[in-house]
Amino acid sequence: MLYTIIQKNNYQDSIVLMLLTNRLLTVDGVSNASVMMGTPANKDIFKTGGIYTDEMAAATSNDMVLVLDIEDKDLIDIVLKEVADFIADQGKSSGEEGPQTVKTWEKALEAGEAAATAVLSIPGTLAAPEIETALEAGKHVFCFSDNVSIEDEVRLKKMAHDKGLLLMGPDCGTGIINGIPVAFTNAVRKGSIGIVGASGTGIQEVTTIIHKLGAGVTQALGTGGRDLSEAVGGITVKDSIIALENDPETKVIVVISKPPAPQVRDEVLDLLRKGTKPAVTIFLGEKPTDHEVGLYRAYTLEEAAQIAVQLLHEEAVIPIDEMIDQSKTIFSPKQQKIKAYYSGGTLAYEAAMLVKAGLQLSEDAAHEDGYILKAQGHEIIDLGDDIYTQGKPHPMIDPSKRKEMLQQAAADPATAVILLDIVLGYGSHADMASELAPTIKELKANAALADRSLAIIGTIVGTDLDPQDINKQAAILTEAGVTLCQSNAQAVKKALVLLGHPLPNITRKLLPKSQPTEALPQPSEAVVQLLKNQAFINVGLRSFAEAIREHHGSVIQYDWQPVAGGNVTLQKALRFLAQASLKE
């Protein structure tokens, strides 16, 4: 039976609510649970999921809505105690003293006068006015929030550029600013390689491999996935390249993106040619045919990291021997298919690129249900796609959807290889390997009973400095029967080898350095200061503030709540009146 509980004026961040939902699903007797704020969009999600109740009509955007599928009504008190304890835990600091906390922008800007950057993790439909407030106050913005309209993104990025500021995002999941991790980020050593990335997990894969190769990162400036689209025009990518070119600590620049708009890509390459520092680009999906002296084109995320480290050490840029075991596994005649279930969207995209090349698959039809590849029985799915995460925890946090998909794949007699990733770092599950290991063991055992081989190949995106113990995670997965590889690219190549389709190395010519006709423009003083600054205003998710503090950054926590009950029209009116008052 469905029970609805509405807690008035109890605003919580969407990620906190996803984690809370995950917690409630572990309570004995709870068949299903969902916790969201009472926004119109969330009510639609409840309806789509078939768990909408009439009581929800009274809920506002500031009200927390719990829907429980339980048989025993007495469980409600137990659940409410779990809710209260969980939310209380979210407010606790991991240190002796938490960050200074404020309730308004005015107090945040006053207390955070020294902060260069405002980090926003609030509902995307309400984010644009808050981004504008921060920019007007002279703050750079790191916007984790998604669902900001493309029109607002273009307008606000142009505004930031005109003010000499960076707008990193929206939908920017990963960043490192002067050694401080921001949002869903791995802990990597500080070094001399600067990253500009229109991809969160792409940044994570490259920075962690750089760390494993013994080098480190100065900055990792996320831009949001749409920055290199034709509509946005690469505003933040271009300004970030200029920033890193003028950063004395950065010796090598790496630019990461899924396929950009061709004209924008060419503009980015021309900008890199004007710089004095060696650079590497990785535009996933493109198969580069040449390098230029000082400007190198990588095919995989791993190669981008390897080339960056070679350039840092002033070594020749040559492919590194991957030492992939060339032995094959004996599969049954029907077993020829690869199934892959990723928590990292960019890793899924890279896997699809390599599988299509190795198996010579034609382009598949439109991607539905999170599919990045669906062709001839092979499938690669991004489980972080909106269709899987609306009102539910992200697969980096919650393993339930991946377990379900693993079981379906293993039950298919055509499946030979299953690929998966585990992404460590701030914000991710504390022990994902232990969550997945029992399912993996069961699937391997069932395949053996059916006289079938089943290869499960994985990669861990992480470092020895991450909150999770990467070595322990690796040991758990290995004991469960997973073949672990050092990178996502190696994992996919290993899968292709097992099926008898090894992927040949691509070769590139080295062309002479292009001679630009003009020098790069200079960055603004505000951007120069950004790369030296370790002070932040955190607007929203408190755990982001904790990660900053753990790396010795300073942070003001603004416990944001939507004004005017989340009514966007009324918010705009109040904002207009406030701005008019300031001008008087």
Asked if omega into 288 is within 30° of 0 (cis), the reply is: no
Q: Which residues contact 462 (CB under 8 A, 6 or more apart)?
A: 186, 208, 422, 423, 424, 425, 468, 470, 473
Strand order in the sheet with 64-70: 2-7, 64-70, 30-37
Higher pLDDT, 313 or 519: 313
* Least confident segment among 388-392, 405-409, 530-534: 388-392
pLDDT (0 to 100) of residue 580? 56
Residues facing residue 183 across a β-bridge: 174
Q: Which residues contact 549 (CB under 8 A, 6 or more apart)?
A: 93, 94, 95, 99, 555
- Residue 582 — pLDDT band, cuts 50, 70, 90? very low
Average pLDDT over the chain, rounded to whole?
90
CA atoms within 13 A on the CB side of 405: 22
The tens digit of pLDDT for each residue in 124-175 reads 888 999 999 999 999 999 999 888 999 999 999 999 999 999 999 999 999 9
- Residue 94 — pLDDT band, cuts 50, 70, 90? very low
Residues facing residue 101 across a β-bridge: 557
pLDDT (0 to 100) of residue 439? 97
pLDDT (0 to 100) of residue 369? 75
Q: Which residues contact 52 (CB under 8 A, 6 or more apart)?
A: 43, 46
- Residue 577 — pLDDT band, cuts 50, 70, 90? low
CA atoms within 13 A on the CB side of 117: 35
8 A C-beta contact, residue 122 and residue 13 = yes
Cα dihedral sign for 23, 24, 30, 36?
negative
What percent of the chain lies above the pLDDT cut of 90?
A: 68
Q: What is the C-alpha to C-alpha distance for residues 189 and 434, in angstroms, rounded to an integer? A: 27
Section 169-186 average pLDDT? 94
Cα–Cα separations (whole angstroms), residue 446 to 218, 232, 419: 47, 50, 18
At 113, list the tokens.
């006068």
Helix axes 127-136, 150-162, angle to 10 degrees: 0
- Residue 274 — pLDDT band, cuts 50, 70, 90? very high
Q: What is the C-alpha to C-alpha distance for residues 22 and 32, in angstroms, rounded to an integer? A: 10
Q: Which residues contact 541 (CB under 8 A, 6 or more apart)?
A: 13, 15, 16, 121, 144
Q: Give, as one character, the DSSP assignment of residue 40.
A: H
pTM for the whole structure: 0.89
Hey, what domains does the chain have and what are their CATH numbers? Answer: 2-90 (3.30.70), 100-319+527-552 (3.40.50.261), 337-498 (3.40.50.261)
Q: What is the C-alpha to C-alpha distance for residues 373 and 212, in angstroms, rounded to an integer? A: 29
Is residue 143 within a helix (H) or strand (E), and if so which, with residue range?
A: strand 140-143
pLDDT (0 to 100) of residue 133? 95
Q: What is the C-alpha to C-alpha distance for residues 557 and 100, in angstroms, rounded to an integer? A: 6
- Residue 234 — pLDDT band, cuts 50, 70, 90? very high
Section 250-258 average pLDDT? 96
pLDDT (0 to 100) of residue 328? 64
Section 542-549 average pLDDT? 91
Q: What is the C-alpha to C-alpha distance for residues 531 and 240, in angstroms, rounded to an integer? A: 10
